Homo-oligomer: A and B are copies of this chain.
Amino acid sequence: MAFTQPFGLYSAATGLGLLVTVLTLSRVTRDYAHDKKASGIADLIRRGAMAFLHKEYSILVVVIAAAAALIWFVSGKIESYAYVAGAISSMFAGFVGMHAATKANVLTTMVAKDEGERPALLTALMGGSVMGFTVATLALLGLGIITFLYQDHISFGRILTCYAIGASSIALFARVGGGIYTKAADVGADLVGKVEQGIPEDDPRNPAVIADNVGDCVGDTAGMGADIFESFVAAVTATMVLALETYSADSVLVSLPLVLSAIGIFASAAGLLSVFVIPVKSEKLLHFAPNIAIIGFIVASYFYMQSAQIATNLFGSVFLGAITGIVIGLITDHYTNGQPVQELAEASQSGAATNLIYGLSLGFGSIVAAIWIIAAVVFASYNYFGGLYGVSLAAVSMLATVGIAMSVDAYGPIADNAGGIAEMAGFGPEVRKITDKLDTLGNMTAALGKGFAIGSAALSALAMFAAYCMASGLSALNLIDPTVITGMFIGATMPFLLSAMTMKAVGRAAWKMVLEVRRQFKEIPGLLEGKAEPDYEKCVGISTEAALYEMLLPGILTIAMPIIIRYGFGLQGKLALGGFLAGATLVGVPLALMMANAGGAWDNAKKFIEAGNVGGKGSPAHKAAVVGDTVGDPFKDTSGPSLNILIKLMSVLSLLLATI
């Protein structure tokens, strides 16, 4: 092969990513003058989180083994190895990130107590960085090694795809299971604790309080990490496969996605470093780091592409993709933090029904600008910059700075946990004031993160769709063809079906939790008076089992449907599957966005009222807002995120089906 991939660059970026991971990990796991009670609580959370991972991974081992055997059988040995590597990478990232998060939470509480707000914020951010940089580094490492070993192999594209499928299958468990876990615990804890017993949030007397905190780690850290890892790997894989199908295997365009990933790690590291050396206000910090990284990424990419003599118009796609992340973030911020949220809070004054109608309508309206922007990026990237490859490249570019984006995102649950620990350990109001502020910033980053996750899922899915069409040899997918129409209609029902299933799953799992918490309040004497300890483990166990059980059916459906469509339509299967993917993506993306934004807005409207507006805590408006928030919980943390997985997993599976 005439062209040599810049493996030196990949190695340097991987090395830097590992260095950042190790440094931040060692900082957040360092010895620190710990409060005994706080440490005890943190231990409970960590043990609960690890118990979930342990149980999840023990199921996953069986699933991975079965899938690997199947892939070996239908595709080949190397593909099977690649699949296992993708799965293990995702699991490892989840493990390391969660380990760091469950160390960083209590450290953030202690630092908030001893050193104040800014050091605490940086501690939580470093905790998040472990997940962020692990995700970015492992993706480049895995795909880089495959490229190094098999770039001349005839099945190079398929091997990459199998790595992506490995990542996807873990994401399914982590995101759907994690999403059910976290909301079962949250809703269960709230319904009995807050509503029936009238004790505050994060009160240690609530038997489900540890499960609730574990849920933050399980759903928002490990789940989000696996989700973004999947998006990143899918986008890079799809772009490489497209380049292989469209251009020659030794084209510099095959290496470009990996190069951009490498540049992204450098830029992310620079973004993270900048918050330590440049004086930025604490409130701006979490916006500042990613923006610095994106600017650095754009500049570096420009110079690289110039020097590699890559057509300037392709840079247009890179540029558009990179800023799309920011723009979608701003839109999400507007709908979940801006004027609409205040209007929602005011509408809550006329009751729960008005709060819900307004919130749903806010969610419906919130998707329009974001989807139009995605449509514009697709249109411009394809027409002016680089065809399907250009569209794909925009997805890679949006995800390239995933290191810092994910760091900021994983900051949220750590800050949330830190607040919970401060509350449960009985720290004074000064400490809680700091942790509350950190938590509020975390809510904002959580909403931004969800926007980013869905935006990137949409672009990754489009990239995968393009790769699917190329790999299937479909030069056209005709919308007037009844097979395509039928496929599209069936695909369009999938997001609705999956949402229905996951929402009901949360309801059922939360109900089990409610029964257990009620039982403990009844049967453990002195619990409500704070004289006896609740049985936290029991609640953790209920969430764990319910989550893993409830994700089975949606998981099987997600995997089975593409296969059924592909082979059920016989010779027309490729067309039907193309329509199916298009339908699922077209409905899934706005629905996921709607759920994330409505959920975020309900959450923040409640917080806005709790901050003393339109009547404040305990007012009728607050009661109405609590109903909205409870409905929004499974929207934003279970069903919405599950749709990201649905869209991507079906796309990547279809790509594999197209090549065998």
Contacts and interface: CB of A to CB of B under 8 A. Distances in A.
A283 B206 CA distance: 51
Contacts of A504: 358, 361, 365
Nearest to A191: B350
A66 B590 CA distance: 36
A131 B360 CA distance: 34
Contact of A482 (B356, B391, B483, B626): B391
Contacts of A578: 479
A391 to B, nearest CB: 7
Number of copies: 2
B352 A627 contact: yes
Contacts of A379: 482-483, 485-486
Contacts of A480: 388, 466, 469, 474-477
A275 to B, nearest CB: 36
A542 interface: no
Nearest to A350: B191
Contact of A488 (B363, B376, B391, B586): B586
Contact of A492 (B358, B483, B586): B586
Given A375-B490, A480-B469, A367 B496 contact: yes
Nearest to A488: B586
A497 B365 contact: yes
A362 B496 CA distance: 10
Given A493-B372, A496-B368, A347 B507 contact: yes
A480 B388 CA distance: 8
Contacts of A587: 492, 586-587, 590
Interface string A565-603: 000000000000011001100110010001000000000
A451 to B, nearest CB: 16
Main secondary structure of the interface of A (DSSP, over half): helix
Contacts of A503: 357-358, 360-361, 364
Contact of A586 (B489, B497, B500, B511): B489
Task: Kindly name the residue among A379, A497, A514 whose own CB sees the greatest number of chain B CB atoms within 10 A.
Answer: A379
A507 B361 contact: yes
Contacts of A357: 503, 506-507, 630-631, 634
A313 interface: no
A378 B489 contact: yes
A485 B583 CA distance: 11
A559 to B, nearest CB: 18
A376 B487 CA distance: 10
A393 to B, nearest CB: 14
A358 B499 CA distance: 11
A615 interface: no
A354 interface: yes
B469 A378 contact: no
B375 A499 contact: no
Contacts of A367: 493, 496
A356 B376 CA distance: 35
Contacts of A488: 582, 586
A376 B354 CA distance: 39
Contact of A579 (B347, B376, B479, B486): B479
A127 to B, nearest CB: 32
A478 interface: yes
A327 interface: no
Nearest to A489: B375
Nearest to A466: B480
B353 A630 contact: yes
Interface in A360-402: 360-365, 367-368, 371-372, 374-376, 378-379, 381-383, 388, 391
Interface string A460-478: 0010001001000011111
Given A351-B627, A357-B506, A477-B478, 14 more contacts: A187-B353, A352-B627, A357-B630, A357-B634, A363-B500, A365-B501, A379-B482, A379-B485, A379-B486, A466-B480, A476-B479, A488-B586, A496-B590, A627-B627
Q: Which are the 5 A-B pairs with shortest beta-carbon distances?
A: A365-B500, A382-B482, A353-B630, A375-B489, A364-B500
Interface of A: 187, 191, 195, 347, 350-354, 356-358, 360-365, 367-368, 371-372, 374-376, 378-379, 381-383, 388, 391, 462, 466, 469, 474-480, 482-486, 488-490, 492-493, 496-497, 499-501, 503-504, 506-507, 511, 514, 578-579, 582-583, 586-587, 590, 594, 626-627, 630-631, 634
